Amino acid sequence: MNRKIFVTGATSGIGLECARAFAQDGDNVLIAGRRADRLAAIKEDFEQQYGIRVDTLVLDVSKREDVDAKVKPAIEAFGGIDVLVNNAGLAQGLDPFQDSTVEDAVTMINTNVLGLLYVTKAVLPFMIDKNEGHIVNMGSTAGIYAYPGGAVYCATKAAVKMLADGIRMDTIATDIKVTTIQPGIVETPFSEVRFHGDAERAASVYAGIDAVQPQDVADVVLYVTNQPKRMQITDVTIMANQQAAGFMVHKK
């Protein structure tokens, strides 16, 4: 399709598969994350496999000065932007709120809410100048249904949804589209990050569930960005067949 797609958190999981889906579709991708080695390896792989252009950006979305200094020049060098996938995000811990640390809460808020806000602020002027573009935010079913031990993470994902809805209103006079994707449990390194590297505990989250895969979410992201200009898909919720609400799952 030869569009220009910017994916944050493209070094792993859902973001990596979104970048791949766009690359397979013939779009050029600007991929961002903190891990430079992974970005370099993905660039080489995608350029070879899909014959598209891949630009990389080592970026910590939670650091405003990093975003302010790097995003605008990266988009200029890339030649513009058609789609932003605001995917970078994480959960930290699953302890009851009263036992959780303020440090974990601050990391989640700084990454999932402020990081998304900084990146969107840096990207929107390019879309407003062109009077078109598509912002796809990675929310979560956690933004719809709270669950025990998830108070702060759920609050950040509810904020992602509300930011999307508000920005859609504020840009209504333009042809910019805004979408929130709200996946349930998806099998990625997300749980290992949440449990601070405890792989065994992370694996238990997906045990007994035919979990949604990151490629499934990427297919939906590609679909919502491939609709006619007249149509905007505002929200999509995706769950495993064995999930019915936040952490309500039936394990086989």
Report the candidate in 46, 72, 42, 43 with the shortest Cα–Cα distance to residue 59.
72
- Residue 12 sits in the site that holds ligand NAP (CB under 6 A): yes
**Nearer residue to ligand NAP within complex by CB, 60 or 175:** 60
Tokens representing residue 173 in the block = 């006079």
Compute, in degrees rounded to 10, the torsion defined by CA atoms 189, 34, 6, 77: -160
Q: Does 186 bind ligand NAP (CB under 6 A)?
A: yes
Q: Within 71-130, which residues bind ligand NAP (CB under 6 A)? A: 87-90, 111, 115
CA angle 195, 243, 246 (to 5 degrees): 55
**In angstroms, what is the minimal distance from the CB of 229 to ligand NAP?**
27
Instruction: Kindly determine how many residues on this chain lie close enough to bind ligand NAP according to the rule CB under 6 A.
Output: 32
Q: Which residue's CB is nearer to ligand NAP, number 128 or number 189?
A: 189
Q: Record the tokens describing residue 197, joined without a space.
A: 């590297």
Of the residues 4, 13, 83, 118, which one makes contact with ligand NAP according to CB under 6 A: 13
Sheet holding 235-238, edge to edge: 54-58, 28-33, 4-8, 83-86, 132-138, 175-183, 235-238
Establish if 150 lies at the interface with ligand NAP (CB under 6 A).
no
Per the annotation, the verdict on 153 as an active-site residue is: yes
Enumerate residues 203-222 that contact ligand NAP by CB under 6 A: 214
Nearer to ligand NAP, 11 or 179 (CB): 11
Binding interface with ligand NAP (CB under 6 A): 8-15, 33-35, 38, 59-62, 87-90, 111, 115, 138, 140, 183, 185-186, 188-190, 193, 214
**Which residues are catalytic, by number?**
153
